[in-house]
Amino acid sequence: MSTSPRLTMTSRAAVLGLAALMLAACGTSGASSDPTTQPAASTTSAATKDGEMVPVTVGTLPIVATSALWYGVDQGIFEKHGLDVTVDTGVGSETMVAAALAHEVDFVTLNSVSMMVALDAGVPVQVASGFSQAWEGGGEDISAVLAKADSGITDAAGLAGHTVAVNTLSSAGTLTISEAVRAAGGDPAEIDFVEIRYPDMIRALEAGDVDAIWEVEPFITIAQGNGAQVVSWNFAESAPGLSTQVMVTAADQDPELLERFTTALTEVLEAAGEDEAGLREVLVDKLEMDPALAERVRMDRFSTAINLEALGTLAGLAHDDALVSKPVDIAKFDTGR
């Protein structure tokens, strides 16, 4: 697989910036840069105190997938396991990792590529479990590239030679779009990736500032409602069933709390997966989503298990495009769940 020149230079800069931020956070929290030599947390964990509710803060993003966490809180599943969980959507992913390292939050959801970058940089974090996954079997998915109906772009190969908006230049989006284009016979080196926030992409497409946009839900459904057409289901065409987000915590997290939380999370995600109507109600209540839109958006799959095969594909792409300096150790994503 060849690298994508227009992506690689900016991606390396983004990787360095991410690593610097996380490593600086390690210094602030007094943590070692070697995640394999972390001591157990020095404070006595509340998880060892039988009969007491343990406060747990989970840092995440205000997106469709977070509905599963709110669902677990509202349904009392975390409480059943003795956990008083607070879902904090106030900060971005990298800042959340810094907060986890400083033990200001206990767990964070992080996209798989950012976790690979963090591990490659020696940041003392660990994968606690899986969280959300793309769909398998082809067809519609939770990640898509869209273009105007009259753009002349009809498939992934047609993205070559055009400007494509992504939310960040070092992401699963850029990697899987490039692979989808390559698999369809196009040259990803001819794509000009530009960075635009998800909520601003539709406006940029309609204004003609970009030729195509990479979106997730609810923005895929919104864009389609405005007349845009899907030209690539990029996850399905490159790494079907990809574990899009994983649950991450500090390397020195108390093992009892880690076990209790992941056990509870497994039950939460299983219940959420069987109650789609309940999840859609959460979108209205917590994200203040229009009820009609909440009924139409595509929902993630949820599981604490991690699709290591699909993740291995993404890891190979990350190494090929120089987002990581050495091959990713997939064993660090294998939590045994």
pLDDT in tens, the chain (337 residues): 434 434 333 344 444 444 444 444 444 333 333 433 343 343 334 444 556 899 999 999 888 999 999 999 999 999 999 999 999 987 666 688 889 999 999 999 998 998 999 999 999 999 999 999 999 876 789 999 999 999 999 999 999 999 999 988 878 899 999 999 999 999 999 999 999 999 899 999 999 999 999 999 999 999 999 999 999 999 999 999 999 999 999 999 999 999 999 999 999 999 999 999 999 999 999 999 999 999 999 999 999 999 999 999 999 999 998 999 999 999 999 998 8
Assess contact for 87 and 69: CB atoms under 8 A.
yes
φ, ψ dihedrals at 231, nearest 5°: -110, -15
Rounded distance between C-alpha atoms, residue 289 and residue 258, angstroms? 32
Superfamily (CATH H level) for 9-28+54-134+241-330? Periplasmic binding protein-like II (3.40.190.10)
The Cα–Cα gap between 213 and 205 comes to 7
On the 0-12 / 13-18 / 19+ scale of CB atoms within 10 A, 208 is exposed
Scored b (16 or more CB within 10 A) or e, 192-206 reads: ebbebebeebbebbe
Within 10 Å of residue 124's Cβ, how many Cβ atoms?
A: 24
336 conformational bin, left if phi > 0, alpha if psi -120 to 50, beta if neither: left
* 255 prior amide bond cis, ω within 30: no
**Rounded Cα distance, 256 and 213, in Å:** 43
Looking at residue 14, what is its pLDDT?
A: 44
Q: For position 316, what pLDDT does the model report?
A: 95
Separation of alpha carbons 232 and 154, rounded Å: 8
SS3 145: strand
N- to C-terminal Cα distance for the chain? 31
Question: Coil, strand or helix: which one is 194?
Answer: strand
Residue 253 to residue 31: CA distance in whole angstroms? 12
Rounded-to-integer distance, Cα 198 and Cα 215, Å: 6
What are residue 232's DSSP bridge partners? 145
Distance of alpha carbon 129 from the chain centroid: 13
Task: Report the chain's C-alpha Rg in angstroms.
Answer: 20
Q: Rounded to an integer, what distance in angstroms lies between the CA atom of residue 318 and that of residue 191?
A: 17
Cα–Cα distance measured from residue 298 to residue 198, given in angstroms and rounded to the nearest whole number: 16
| Four-way CATH pick for 137-232: 3.40.190.10, 1.10.1200.10, 3.40.50.150, 3.40.50.450 | 3.40.190.10
Positive or negative CA dihedral for 45, 303, 283, 164?
A: positive
Pairing of the two strands 143-147 and 229-232: antiparallel
Strands 192-195 and 229-232: unpaired
Two tokens, residue 117: 């970058």
| CA angle (126 as vertex; 60, 34 as ends), nearest 5 | 130
Single-letter amino acid, residue 214: W
Residue with tokens 């150790």: 329
Whether the pTM exceeds 0.95: the reply is no
- As annotated, the residues of the chain forming the CATH 3.40.190.10 domain(s) are 9-28+54-134+241-330, 137-232
3 near 321, Cβ under 8 Å? yes
